[in-house]
Amino acid sequence: MDFAMQPDSEEMQVFRREAQEWFAEAMKDGAHLKFSANWSTRENEEEYEFRRNLARKVGAKGWMFPVYPREYGGGGLTVEHQMVLENEIGKYGLTLEHIFYTLARLAVPCIFTWGTEEQKQAFLPPLMTGEVGCWQLLTEPQGGSDVANAQTTAIKDGDVYVVNGQKTMVGSIHYPDFFWTLVNTNPQGARHENLSWIYIPGDLPGISRSPLNLLMGRKNTVFFDNVRVPEFYLVGGENNGWKVGNTHLELEHSGGGSLGEDGLVKHLIQYCEETESNGAPLLEDPDVRDLLADVLIGSHISALWGRRNWWHRYAHRPHGYGGTQARYYSRMRRLVVAERLQQILGYHTLIPNFDVPEAIDFEHAARQGPGTLHGGGTLDTDRLIMGRRMGLGRPTAEQAPITTPGSSEA
């Protein structure tokens, strides 16, 4: 399969010039910041505020979710427009969906696919335009990767659901506007048939959190104590949460793909060009070049899988185990990158040097390498999904859901 980008049409040439000029102006005040392709790695207020404001600006143009309808906060544009936008913002080390730490990239497709028209009108525009932040809450103390074992309950009481329980290892430093979470709406019901998805406003009484400082970074435990959530916020119907979860988890497990690349590799090469050891740039050391080549090759493989999955998604062609395959490889690669960073930079990798932005990126990557093997389900979860999608041990292969506007759910 040819993954090369095709030349722009005349229309796309005009649009690309518009996007180039717009991003050049929007990114001007953040020129001194060095971004990774995903979340903020430095978690400082200056970067957070810049990225949050950038999300609002991009969202106001409908560019955060370009192919979604305008009436919900999207751009009403084509896939070709999105490819141009991803390419242009990618030059700054960012992707559209990862401008700042929000789980809109997961909540939006689920609400669009499973929500009522009234819910779409109410929930989607603020998410798509970057006006609100959202955390995903799945992991529970007793559940781990077994999300179907959710013990956090949401019991119907008139026109509200009363939520009690806790979610752990979630979120980041900055408190969100909403929580997108899986709850148990029928504790006596059969497994997979007793779950629901609910979109909880973060300012409701009875919600509290306790910080968790983990190897992979700042996380939290969120507690719900008789939190009364209007029934309007239950998405997809009561006890239908496992079907909604198929859409959510497919995207979390890389089923949506990506056109972006990891800015960490570019930062590392630049750092080795500019940093000397024994009177010569690190890049002149043949051992360092070998290690950099290994990191670069892995990065390119991940990028190609991301493009493949992205194309499958927007062509409305479910790709079986492709998303989880890419995720598994990416997570294993991050562990290798953490090791290569320490081999190249030694103990400097483990020390956050705030005078050198790249060094903060490296220190975070070194910590995140081992931690990423557990986030969003373990490696065993990835292998299980791949096996089921291939039909191993079952009479029929499990089907992947379609997660894009303009399609019907499989």
Domains in the chain: ranges and CATH: 10-100 (1.10.540), 134-242 (2.40.110.10), 256-390 (1.20.140.10)
Closest CA relative to residue 166, chosen from 220, 112, 124: 220
Cβ-based neighbour number of residue 209 at 10 Å: 17
- Give pLDDT, residue 35: 66
Give yes or no for residue 40 having a pLDDT over 60: no
- Give pLDDT, residue 38: 46
Cβ-based neighbour number of residue 174 at 10 Å: 17
- Give pLDDT, residue 264: 82
Task: Share the mean pLDDT of the chain.
Answer: 87
CA–CA distance, 220 with 364 (Å, rounded to integer): 18
Most confident range, picked from 4-8, 210-214, 315-319, 402-406: 210-214
pLDDT digits (tens, 9 = 90+) for 292-309: 999 999 999 998 988 888
Share of the chain above pLDDT 70, in %: 91
Write out the two tokens for 91: 């030059």
Q: How far is CA 221 from CA 156, 210, 277, in A?
A: 24, 5, 43
Reduce the DSSP state of residue 156 to 3 states and report it: strand
- Give pLDDT, residue 404: 67
Closest CA relative to residue 182, chosen from 207, 200, 169: 200
- DSSP string computed for 78-105: -HHHHHHHHHHHHTTT--GGGSSS-THH
Give yes or no for residue 380 having a pLDDT over 60: yes
Q: What is the mean pLDDT of residues 246-274?
A: 84
pLDDT digits (tens, 9 = 90+) for 143-160: 777 888 999 999 999 999
pLDDT digits (tens, 9 = 90+) for 91-135: 888 888 888 777 888 999 999 999 999 999 999 999 999 999 999
Identify whether the C-beta of residue 212 lies closer than 8 Å to the C-beta of residue 221: yes
How many whole angstroms from its chain centre is CA 233? 22
- Give pLDDT, residue 41: 42
